[in-house]
Amino acid sequence: MIIFPLQNGKKLAASIAKRSKAKLGELNIEHFPDGELHLRFEDDVRDKIVVLVGSMHPLPSEALLEVVFASKTAKELGAKKVIAAIPYIAYLRQDKRFHPGECVSNRIMAWLVNSCCDKIITVDPHLHRITNLAYLFHIERKKLTANDLIAQYIRKKFKKEKTVIAGPDIESSQWAKEIADSIGFESVIFLKQRFSSRHVKIHVTKEKEWKGKDVVIVDDIISSGHTMIEAVREIKKRKPKSVHCICVHGIFAEGAFEKLKKSGAKSIISTNSIEHKSNAIDLSGLIAKELF
């Protein structure tokens, strides 16, 4: 087995290779003057299991094309099997034709991956109406979750009797409530009213004794950050000791990280599915375990 980093997975790939005692290969990825991708495997992949590591952010379209080009090339060069370890998969939000003429991009993204890979590994994919990866991927697939790792982090950093774990909306209960229940922490799930992609309102559905408590808001993705920012603001009104934000995938688009800090979040933590200064929860062991 050889682990190859894509452009958005260099640190994670190195950590996975170290944990699994597998070889870390070199995949040279450059651009021609006109912007076209150029890829070259610097290691012999014949009869090897090739693992490509990288998330589809930033530049999700280019990241997807890297997976396709690298997988197809590895197969042409005689690789025995190609595994795409993509902790964060883009193009899952558009899972139906909301308006006439729209592209249902999740199906096309999956069609491309199905056409070139033998297996896909991902972490807490942002699924909506389609709840199972089997509806999209007919190749071997594995959905991992960072819940246990996040639970371990919270248990290490916070005291059970002085902490409330919160989910900013109903969808987040599969992370916030499950994590809280697994370590015996108190939890609460808020309701979200969405007016547009950048305008949401958070409603606290169940009041707690917030004063003197550390509140940890947990969700799968922080993208534009509007949901998390509104949740922080609502909790801050209730005078807690502190408010912290934890997510699996830290996209932090449009300056979301700085905006969250300004809204009153004491700490903002993410896994290393996407490289960012907020990375404090390591997925490499989770992914390495699935590879072996």
Query: What positions carry a catalytic annotation?
Result: 192
* Phi, psi at 287, each rounded to 5°: -75, -40
Task: Report the distance separating Cα 179 and Cα 130, nearest Å.
Answer: 23
The single residue listed with the structure tokens 């590591």 is 53
Strands 199-203, 191-196: pairing kind: antiparallel
**Pairs from 279-283 (Cβ < 8 Å, separation ≥ 24):** 279/250, 280/153, 281/146, 281/149, 281/150, 281/153, 281/246, 282/15, 282/149, 283/12, 283/87, 283/123, 283/144, 283/146, 283/149
Integer angstrom CA distances of residue 287 from 54, 92, 122, 278: 12, 21, 9, 20
For 88, the 3-state DSSP assignment is: coil
- Rounded CA gap, 52 and 2, in Å? 9
E-strand ranges in the chain read 2-5, 23-24, 27-31, 37-41, 49-53, 81-85, 119-123, 140-144, 163-167, 186-189, 191-196, 199-203, 214-222, 242-250, 267-271, 279-281
